[in-house]
Amino acid sequence: MDLILCHQTVDFDALGAAVGLSCLRVGSRIVLTGGAHPKVKDFLALHRDEIALIELRSVNPKRIRHLIVVDNQQLSRLGKAAEWFDLPQIESVELYDHHLNSSSDISATFQQIEAVGASTTLIVEKMQENNINPNPIEATIMGLGIHVDTGSLTFPQSTARDAKALAWLMEKGANVKIIAEYCDPGLTPQLQEIFTEALDKLETNNIRGYQVAWVLIETENFVSGLSNLTERLIELSESDALLFAHIYHKRHNNKPYPENRLVVIGRTRIEGTDLNQLFSLYGGGGHSQAASLMLRNVDADGKLKQLVEEFITQIPHPLNARDLMSSPVRTIRPETTIEQAERVLFRYGHSGLSVVDEKDHLVGIISRRDLDLALHHGFSHAPVKGYMTKNIKTINPDTLLPDIESIMVTYDVGRLPVIDDNRLLGIVTRTDLLRQIHQQRKEVKDENGKRVATVSCLLTSMRHSLKKSTWKLLEMIAKEAEDQGWHLYIVGGAVRDLLLTNNNQKVSLQDIDLVVDGFHRSADVGAGVELASTIQKKYPNCRLSVHGEFQTAALLWHKDPEFGSLWIDIATSRTEFYPYPAANPEVESSSIRQDLYRRDFTINALAVRLTPPREGELLDFFGGLLDLKGKEVRVLHANSFIEDPTRIYRAVRFAVRLNFDIEPQTETYIRYAIESGIYDKLKLKNHVTPALTTRLKAESKYILEANYWKPALQLLSDLDSLKCLHNQVILDDKIWWQIRCASRWLRYLDPDNNIGHWLIRLEILISKINPQERKQLALNLHLPKDSLERIDKDNIIYLEIQELLLKCNKISDKYKQLYRNKLADLILVAVNSKKEVRRIIWQYLTQWSKIQAPLNGNDLKRMGYKPGPQYKFVLDRLLALTLDGEIKTQQEAAIIVKQMFDNG
């Protein structure tokens, strides 16, 4: 076990450095050895589950092998964790700090102490060197560490290295708005006096769940620095929006103005409001969430009230628990054992479980931390009722998002059950809340770099990019879903392709995935089928297909004059669990968030809502937009390739087709999955492994029949991932030449692709496997009969053909050796043969096979010869003489025929 230790009373710099190291050291865990600064504590109350944290009391000292200390050089600041440094099994101790003059009593096997503004900077530089990219929340935490320890680059110890590290973190998605919420700029004595006065005079009103505040301060002279004061005031007052008005009468030099001056500084955190739009009407401006204006000779009090009223009209109706919650809720009984509960958590990837009695009334909640502690102390068989939390904070379906956030922070709870009439309707977790907060605070920019709202910003683009008939169809399906009380989303590849398309281009989507999400209303597992059935009745030209145990429905149009060949999948939102690696996943009903979470790559985990309210809203919980912009394929889960090796092939396919790079950490996961040998172990255990058989065949076909098959196959080889097929498959120079040679022949000889060019490429790729295992692999992949027959032919047969051809002198003899074989067989023989043999086969296929004798069977009839077995012998003789150039005309052929029939 690798542990990263933060000092007692951890600050943001220590936390940021620790988070960065957890990215560098896959599988390591962060230990907070004591308390935390107030701001850090508030931050962790929301973001704890996003970090690889482990409780100090849950650590088993016997499993510790490596210790890493950040932002500290004294054992005394590590509390009880200092005892671990004396354990006999410790293999290494690393230390990272930026305090050059600090004395150290930690005996480190490696240390890096350098003069930078923040320890986090050192770790960011190591991540850059190793091509390890953080996700947006990790980048945000590390950005906070540098901002706080450098005073946002204003402290004397700040360096250019800190600035470069911050810039890189911003490129990787660090959320500057969240950073601003937790940074703490100081105030001058004058501003402190004004700040105290403002707090006393502050007026507030709760509008649709948001707290709107305003205050008017009067001074004799102009005061600078009020922007920072406004930031501090909105934070301390816990307001969602603030209008700070300042009226004054004199300039800096104490000279009076002929008219008073009123400056209004506005700040808002409410999505959908726009201060720039409001203030620009009065000659002011700025950004949508931060703007200011200056007016002369006005009634300051009246004007401020007017601005507040106008701002209030902008405030949208906020999300509530019904919109945020996950449903249905995984529940257990009080008698469930700790071990059983832990298995349920592992299966569904939850961080806690709800405990209900026999009437399904909520009686408690047990978290992963509770289970870890019980397991640590050896109580795996004890019932959860002894460890669950019974004093539960709950909310109702109409509880607003700001109130949910306030409850979680105030009481430091990670999940809030949603109760309606004593019924457990759903649950809102930290993850649900954080994803929505990041969704709301994220900035989306248009092609000119101008910020646009994420809500409804895609409707116009989609309407413009899609065919008119397709867009009208989607609108109609959305209306049907809305009438049922369901939400409808377009998800996955269609969203990705729309976002990658310029506004002036049309997108012809032939494969569209839709997801129905409405479990908190009335949808069940059959919602997708029900919706598809309703649509099919209105479009009788389309075919309805229902497939899979989860009842996914598909609407199919084939060469339709309006829709062409369109395929629309409609499914109910679901989650999945892999019982063992490479198995088919087990699926269960869930929410749209969990449905997106089960997907493979961030660029495919995007969704656009098609139903009101907030139609056109983009759901991007995993940084998919950022990866589209950066042209990277990034996997969602570290174990993704262990669970499903076909995702390796999908990663390659997307990377090559979209001209993207596979993100370095994702490539590391791919190589780890292959090097682990898990796929070979599964084959030895005779597990049913669809991801290594039928699904792997499908992904191989996608790649080998695509027009980009060459770079894709090379990338698969570079990643060593051809071993997913068989551990003996390699793309050496000889195999690579054979595949390319066969492809050239196929392009010329089989332009209509009747053979299946991808199969020939695959057969050559696996040709070096020993015959018995090659045949078994072909059976496992469910290759077609023709392919199985070709693979079953031993290389000896090919060698015999080669030897016989070289012994033949006449063209007719060579023809006899070849004409019984199919085109695919001959191509495979050719690429495995010497140049002389290959030339003979090419001549046969392109020349000799097209030669015909001067006379045919009908000609023999007209000449008066009675049909019979001798016909074949005569015609074969004529063809042989023609091939050898001994006869050329019908007259010459007729003489030969007469001689043969006369001689009997």
Helix (H, G, I), strand (E, B) or coil at 715: helix
Residues 673 and 695 in one domain: yes
**817 in any annotated domain:** no
3-state helix vs strand vs coil in the chain, percent to 5: 45, 20, 35
Strand partners, 29: 3
Mean pLDDT of 814-829: 90
Residue at a domain's end among 405, 423, 438:
438
Q: How is 685-711 classified by DSSP, letter by letter?
A: TT---GGGTHHHHHHHHHHHTSTTHHH
The pLDDT, as a whole number, for residue 683 is: 61
Query: Using only C-alpha atoms, what is the Rg of the chain?
Result: 36
Strand partners, 507: 466
Summarize pLDDT for 236-295 with one digit per residue, the tens. 888 999 999 999 987 656 677 778 889 999 999 887 788 988 988 888 776 678 888 889
Look up residue 770 and give its amino acid: N
Q: Are 767 and 728 in contact (CB under 8 A)?
A: no
Any idea how long the chain is? Answer: 904
Query: CATH number of the domain that 573 lies in?
Result: 3.30.460.10
The pLDDT, as a whole number, for residue 664 is: 94
Specify the DSSP element, H or E, that contains 296.
strand 290-296
In whole angstroms, what is the distance from residue 142 CA to residue 140 CA?
Answer: 5
Specify the higher pLDDT residue, 651 or 526.
651
Query: CATH number of the domain that 97 lies in?
Result: 3.90.1640.10
**824 in any annotated domain:** no
Quick one: pLDDT band at residue 699, thresholds 50, 70, 90? very high
Query: CATH number of the domain that 347 lies in?
Result: 3.10.580.10
Residues 173 and 199 in one domain: no
- The distance from CA 747 to its chain's CA centroid, rounded to whole angstroms, is 36
Summarize pLDDT for 98-152 with one digit per residue, the tens. 877 666 889 999 999 998 999 999 999 999 999 999 999 999 999 999 998 887 8
**17 in any annotated domain:** yes
Look up residue 739 and give its amino acid: I
In whole angstroms, what is the distance from residue 826 CA to residue 842 CA?
Answer: 9
Residues 352 and 236 in one domain: no
Summarize pLDDT for 367-403 with one digit per residue, the tens. 888 898 899 888 999 999 998 988 888 999 889 888 8
Residues 482 and 591 in one domain: yes
Cis-peptide into 867, omega within 30 deg: no
* Percentage of the chain exceeding pLDDT 90: 42
Helix (H, G, I), strand (E, B) or coil at 802: helix
Query: CATH number of the domain that 280 lies in?
Result: 3.10.310.30
Alpha-carbon distance values, 74 to 9, 84, 116, 666 (Å): 14, 14, 19, 36
In whole angstroms, what is the distance from residue 724 CA to residue 677 CA?
Answer: 10
The angle subtended at Cα 222 by Cα 270 and Cα 205, nearest 5°, is: 30
Residues 25 and 170 in one domain: yes
* Percentage of the chain exceeding pLDDT 70: 89
The pLDDT, as a whole number, for residue 890 is: 92
**149 in any annotated domain:** yes
Residue at a domain's end among 594, 624, 654:
624
In whole angstroms, what is the distance from residue 138 CA to residue 418 CA?
Answer: 29
**Lowest-confidence pick of 187-191, 475-479, 859-863, 889-893:** 187-191
Residue 173 pLDDT greater than 80, yes or no: yes
Quick one: residue 846, left, alpha or beta (phi over 0 = left, psi -120 to 50 = alpha)? Answer: alpha
Q: How far apart are the first and last CA of the chain?
A: 91
Which residue blocks in 114-252 are alpha helix, DSSP H? 119-129, 136-150, 160-171, 176-182, 189-201, 226-236
Specify the DSSP element, H or E, that contains 245.
strand 241-250
Residue with tokens 């983009």: 618
Quick one: pLDDT band at residue 454, thresholds 50, 70, 90? very low
Strand partners, 203: 214
Summarize pLDDT for 512-549 with one digit per residue, the tens. 999 998 644 444 557 888 899 999 999 988 999 887 66
Q: Are 662 and 729 in contact (CB under 8 A)?
A: no
The pLDDT, as a whole number, for residue 449 is: 42
Summarize pLDDT for 785-817 with one digit per residue, the tens. 988 888 877 666 777 788 788 888 899 999 998
**826 in any annotated domain:** no
In whole angstroms, what is the distance from residue 435 CA to residue 297 CA?
Answer: 46
Number of domain units in the chain: 6
Look up residue 139 and give its amino acid: A
Name which of 449, 592, 623 is nearest 521 in CA terms: 592
Mean pLDDT of 448-473: 68
Quick one: pLDDT band at residue 448, thresholds 50, 70, 90? very low
Residues 591 and 681 in one domain: no
Q: Are 717 and 795 in contact (CB under 8 A)?
A: no
Farthest-apart Cα atoms in the chain, separation? 134
Quick one: pLDDT band at residue 773, thresholds 50, 70, 90? confident
- Residues 6 or more apart whose CB falls under 8 angstroms from that of 586 comprise 576, 577, 578, 579
**Lowest-confidence pick of 339-348, 529-538, 828-837:** 339-348
**833 in any annotated domain:** no
**798 in any annotated domain:** no
In whole angstroms, what is the distance from residue 56 CA to residue 41 CA?
Answer: 16
Residues 31 and 105 in one domain: yes
For 252, the token pair is 């800096």
Provide the strand spans (E) within 542-596.
543-547, 552-556, 567-572, 574-577, 586-589
Residues 652 and 776 in one domain: yes
Q: Are 842 and 811 in contact (CB under 8 A)?
A: no
Alpha-carbon distance values, 695 to 118, 649, 775, 783 (Å): 48, 10, 18, 12
352-356 and 423-429 beta bridge pairing: unpaired
In whole angstroms, what is the distance from residue 642 CA to residue 580 CA?
Answer: 9
Q: Are 532 and 550 in contact (CB under 8 A)?
A: no
Query: CATH number of the domain that 713 lies in?
Result: 1.10.3090.10
**811 in any annotated domain:** no
In whole angstroms, what is the distance from residue 575 CA to residue 588 CA?
Answer: 5
Instruction: Tell me the backbone φ, ψ of residue 394, rounded to 5 degrees.
Output: -125, 165
619 DSSP assignment: E
Mean pLDDT of 198-215: 91
In whole angstroms, what is the distance from residue 710 CA to residue 656 CA?
Answer: 10
For 354, the token pair is 């709800």
Residues 419 and 328 in one domain: yes
Residues spanned by the domain of 69: 2-183
Residues 67 and 112 in one domain: yes
Summarize pLDDT for 668-681 with one digit per residue, the tens. 999 988 888 776 76
The pLDDT, as a whole number, for residue 431 is: 76
Summarize pLDDT for 62-74 with one digit per residue, the tens. 999 999 999 988 8
Mean pLDDT of 158-184: 90
Residues 699 and 717 in one domain: yes
Residues 211 and 284 in one domain: yes
**Lowest-confidence pick of 202-211, 391-400, 455-464, 626-635:** 455-464
In whole angstroms, what is the distance from residue 622 CA to residue 628 CA?
Answer: 12
Specify the higher pLDDT residue, 318 or 610.
610
Q: What is the dihedral of CA 454, 459, 461, 463, to 10 degrees?
A: 170
Name which of 500, 553, 547 is nearest 530 in CA terms: 553
- Residues 6 or more apart whose CB falls under 8 angstroms from that of 4 comprise 18, 21, 22, 25, 28, 29, 30, 31, 68, 70
Residue at a domain's end among 314, 349, 370:
314
**Lowest-confidence pick of 178-182, 498-502, 575-579:** 575-579
- The distance from CA 17 to its chain's CA centroid, rounded to whole angstroms, is 25
In whole angstroms, what is the distance from residue 636 CA to residue 665 CA?
Answer: 11
Residue 719 pLDDT greater than 60, yes or no: yes
Q: Are 801 and 815 in contact (CB under 8 A)?
A: no
In whole angstroms, what is the distance from residue 832 CA to residue 840 CA?
Answer: 13
In whole angstroms, what is the distance from residue 35 CA to residue 437 CA?
Answer: 26
Summarize pLDDT for 847-885 with one digit per residue, the tens. 999 999 999 999 999 998 888 888 889 999 999 999 999
Helix (H, G, I), strand (E, B) or coil at 680: helix
